[in-house]
Each structure stands twice: as structure tokens, then as C-alpha cells.
Amino acid sequence: MEKKKELETRLIHGEYDRKKHYGSLTPPLYQTSTFTFDSAQQGEARFAGNESGYIYSRLGNPTVTILEKAIADLEEAEEGIAFASGMAAVSSVLLALVRTGDHILVSEGVYGCTYGLLQLVEDRYGIEHDFIDMSEEETVRQQIKPNTKVLYVETPINPTMKLVDLEMVIKVAKEMGVVVVVDNTFSSPYLQQPLKMGADVVIHSATKYICGHGDVIAGLAAGKADFVQQVRATTLKDIGGVMAPFDAWLLLRGLKTLSVRMDRHCLNASDLFRKLKDHPRVKKIVYPGDSSYEHYDLAQKQMKQPGGLITFEVEGGKEEAQEMMNHLKMIQVAVSLGDAETLIQHPASMTHAVIPPEKRMEMGITESMLRLSVGLENVNDIWEDLAQALNAAAGKLSTSS
């Protein structure tokens, strides 16, 4: 058996078979909504599942298939599946796993729209959920109910950067017959591979690091073939959150540089963390690469590198945080992450605004918190912009008071 290539090599070559596509070096773009049949009988056979082949791009497309094979390979899954957005991936996976009366156990913090989805399905369809601190094994064990079907985890958690011990929660879930779904967006397959630790399903907002260029909205998931095929035939096909072929083509292009981009994101973030930590206007900073961080050992165990995201709090509250953002010149005030550009946002009023204030505080999302997605620019230029904005905001606020 041929030795499996290293991940950096597989990002470029993957499972793409050039011989099947006329020797095209890069995967072709099949920009079509439908596919013709050689005969009426062939059309019948494909709809009946008696013959393989493409029918309609909502049901499958060759460019999308190449991407799905790529994410399966990178996450070491049996099969991958693509969606029109990260939230289409989250909703399709969860709705395929639960029904009325079931319960989902969730890490204590999640993306704001995931929170909104969980609330919606509980209010309208009677699918319960609870948020818990998953730091202790006994707590996780005690919070799993007889009707718990899914344990849903973000790690690092958005935006607090708290970590969950995947090996621990997966062990407990397996003992109690609960499916483990991990949102791996913040790490990408390059830094963390939950399926290798025993998770059942991994999800990505491919909009972020997998794309890397801020020009695609997309989602991906990977897991066992039978489950992925169930999702493909039900919640993806019938709800319709399918990925467009052109978006898949762009993501395949982005994947080729994922390793070199992630290395640069992490290198820049590590340098900025050290500088921000010493700035007098920063009262708290959270970064998995901080040796004094409570989850530092866990980050070393389950992540290849600490990632490209930093969460920090400025002295004061919402006004001080927004004032600092308004003084930035190069860094862009925008939600999302993983782009070549450095981005900053205020979670309490932006990505997590849908979460009630008291619940945000329980999750650790304060009014003075900012989330920095470190880009690929020269790190000295990023720091210069951060430092001048912190200082300018402090000066303006002190003058106005």
C-alpha cells in the first residue's frame, strides 16, 4: 500500500484525479444547473439509484464532489458534504440527528447564529438544549439526559477562545450513546482533527480559513459515510442549502494554500499576543498560545498551533471598545475571520448580539471584549495600527471626560 502523503501535500493534490478531467491541472468548474441523460431509461435508473451519475446540481455536482472528497481526506473521514453556508451545515447536520422531544447538550459558548438556531428549534419544534461548562468530566456526565442525542462542541469557543477537552467529552458521550458534533471552524483541519479523536461529525464554516480570501460563503461537514449520505438525501436535498459549483471551485483554490496561510496567521497572532498583553489599555487577553492560560496544556495536546484569533478586553466598556475600533486605519472593522486582511469586531453588539445580555455574560462575552482575526500582513504594520488606535482612543476619552 502506498504511504499516505503528508497533509500539506494532500491540500494541493488531494483526491483529485486529473485523468478523469482531461488532464486539467486544476479542478474544472462545472457551472451547470442540470445534466443530460443518454436516454429516458438512464434518467429513470439514476433517479431510482440504480446507476451512478449526476442529475441536477442541487443533488450533486462534479466540482462540489471534488471538494467533498478533499475535506473528507483532510479530516480523515469516510465522506464529506458541502453546503451553501456554515449555518446551512450546522442546521442540516443537527436536524438530521434530532427530532421533537430530543435534547442537545452544547458547550457554554457558541456562534450567535448557532445560538439562534438552537433557540428556534426549541421554541417551535420542542427540541431542547442546554449550555454547560464542559471543563469537568463529571459535569458532562451528569448533564447528559435520557433524551440527549447530540453533544455539540465549539473549541476554541467563539469568541471567548475557551477550549474543550475533546478526548474527554468524546469518551463520556460514547459511553452514553450520544453523537458528538464538533465545529472546527476556528482551527481548520490543519490545526485540529476532531474525527481522529473519536468525534462523529466535524463542521466548518468554510467561509473562514478554508476559503481564506473573504470571497465565499460556504459550509462543510465530514463523518461516517452512512450519516453523510442520510444528510445528503434529506436535510441538504430537501431544505436546499446546497453549495454553488463556483464557490466549490474557489474553495478548492483556497485549500491549496491553507497550510502556509495558517502558519502565517499563527506566527503573527503569537507576536501580537505578546505585544497586546503588555499594553496598559488591555485589561484581559485570551490566546491558546499563552503559557499562563488555563487551557494552555490542552491546546498543546489537541491543536497543532494556537491559531490566528485573539480575544482581548480594553479598559472600560462598550464605548471604549468601539472608540478603539473607530481609530483603526488599516485593520478592518468587520465580522468573519480567517481572511488575508486583519479583521476586528465587537461580539456583544455584532456576532453575538442575538444572545440576551445576561446569557452573554454567563458565556464570558463582556461589553469591552474585542475579537481580532489576525491576517497575513506584516506583523509590525498590524501592531502599529493596534497600538495607535488603543492610544488614540484612550486620549480622546480622557479629553472628553
- In DSSP notation, 88-110 reads HHHHHHHHHH--TT-EEEEES--
First to last CA, the chain: 72
pLDDT at 2: 72
With left for phi above 0 and alpha for psi between -120 and 50, is residue 391 left, alpha or beta?
A: alpha
Q: Which CATH class is domain 258-400?
A: alpha beta
Q: What is the pTM of this model?
A: 0.95
pLDDT at 3: 83
Catalytic residues: 58, 111, 183, 208
Q: List the Cα angle 15/206/192 in 5-degree steps.
A: 75
d(CA 214, CA 340): 8
The strand ranges marked E within 320-392 are 332-333, 343-345, 369-373
Backbone angles phi, psi at 258, to 5 degrees: -55, -45
pLDDT string in tens for the chain (401-residue length): 678 899 999 999 988 999 999 999 999 999 999 999 999 999 999 999 999 999 999 999 999 999 999 999 999 999 999 999 999 999 999 999 999 999 999 999 999 999 999 999 999 999 999 999 999 999 999 999 999 999 999 999 999 999 999 999 999 999 999 999 999 999 999 999 999 999 999 999 999 999 999 999 999 999 999 999 999 999 999 999 999 999 999 999 999 999 999 999 999 999 999 999 999 999 999 999 999 999 999 999 999 999 999 999 999 999 999 999 999 999 999 999 999 999 999 999 999 999 999 999 999 999 999 999 999 999 999 999 999 999 998 876 555 55
Cβ 66 vs Cβ 252: under 8 Å = yes
- In DSSP notation, 149-192 reads EEEEEESSPTTT-----HHHHHHHHHHTT-EEEEE-TTTHHHH-
| Cell matching residue 211 | 476559503
d(CA 1, CA 254): 29
**Residue among 135, 175, 137 at smallest CA distance from 155:** 135
Helix (H, G, I), strand (E, B) or coil at 286: strand
**Residue among 54, 58, 67 at smallest CA distance from 14:** 67
Spell out the domain ranges in the chain.
7-30+61-255, 258-400
Helix (H, G, I), strand (E, B) or coil at 260: helix
| Cell matching residue 80 | 464529506
pLDDT at 276: 98
d(CA 121, CA 129): 9
**Residue among 246, 205, 249, 204 at smallest CA distance from 223:** 204
Helices (H) and strands (E) in the chain, counts: 16, 12
The CATH number that domain 7-30+61-255 falls under is 3.40.640.10
| Cell matching residue 365 | 462575552
d(CA 194, CA 155): 10
d(CA 111, CA 298): 21
Helix (H, G, I), strand (E, B) or coil at 81: strand
With left for phi above 0 and alpha for psi between -120 and 50, is residue 222 left, alpha or beta?
A: beta
Cis peptide preceding 156, ω within 30 of 0: yes
